[in-house]
Homo-oligomer: A and B are copies of this chain.
Amino acid sequence: MQFSSKVIEQAVDTFAQLPGVGKKTALRYVLHLIKQDDTEQLAQIIKQLKTDLKFCDKCHNISESTSCEICTNPVRDQTLLCVVQDYRDVMAIENTGLYKGLYHVLGGLISPMEGVGPGHLNIETLNTRMAEGVIKEVILALNATMEGETTSFYIYRKLAPHNVNLSAIARGIAVGDELEYADEATLGRSITNRQPFSAFFTVK
């Protein structure tokens, strides 16, 4: 792609660094912004992302201070820890309104294909938190993908020395799904891990 203006070229190159954005999409964004009366707000909020947001020292979640609202909330169960991949998963679980423990955000999943090893993730600090001895149960809430399962297994091995209940979120047929369209692996696991029918009516 050849541009008549250096500014447009630079802008397209910069926008194309966003995840999943190619040069065509970047140009679409740039042309949209050129037509807008006020682009100050976008520039301002991008700066604020760096200045106003921090990572929580304890759980590594994104927060407006170095101790996040969840970690500092005295009402939350300090003995229960949920291990997730990133901020989006914290958001998703918080939106269910069914979890009252703390979180630990890994910041990614082990993926040799993408060059992400255990050392790139917040696993060492998880180990440190466990060593403090307050946490009694750890729930692994990672994606049901190859990378998610690998990471879960790595953490399972890593936390073995600690005296802690380790569980993983249930895999099975999604609520609202029809059996005939479920894949074999999911259906197989949902049969193997069948639950007492009464469990469906109790919210812990």
Interface size (A, Cβ < 8 Å)?
Answer: 52
The answer, yes or no, to whether A14 is at the interface (CB within 8 Å) is yes
The answer, yes or no, to whether A43 is at the interface (CB within 8 Å) is yes
B10, B34, B44: which contacts A62 (Cβ < 8 A)? B34
Q: Among A90-98, A126-134, A170-178, A193-201, which stretch is in contact with chain B?
A: A90-98
The residue of chain B having its C-beta at the shortest distance from the C-beta of A18 within the complex is B29
Contact A94 B49 (CB under 8 A): no
B2, B5, B34: which contacts A95 (Cβ < 8 A)? B2
The residue of chain B having its C-beta at the shortest distance from the C-beta of A21 within the complex is B29
Contact A19 B14 (CB under 8 A): no
Which residues of chain A have a CB within 8 Å of any CB of chain B? 1-8, 10-11, 14-15, 18-20, 25, 27-34, 39-50, 52-53, 61-64, 68-70, 86-88, 90-91, 94-95
Can you name 10 A-B residue pairings with CB atoms under 8 Å? A4-B91, A4-B94, A5-B62, A7-B49, A7-B52, A14-B45, A18-B29, A19-B28, A43-B46, A46-B46
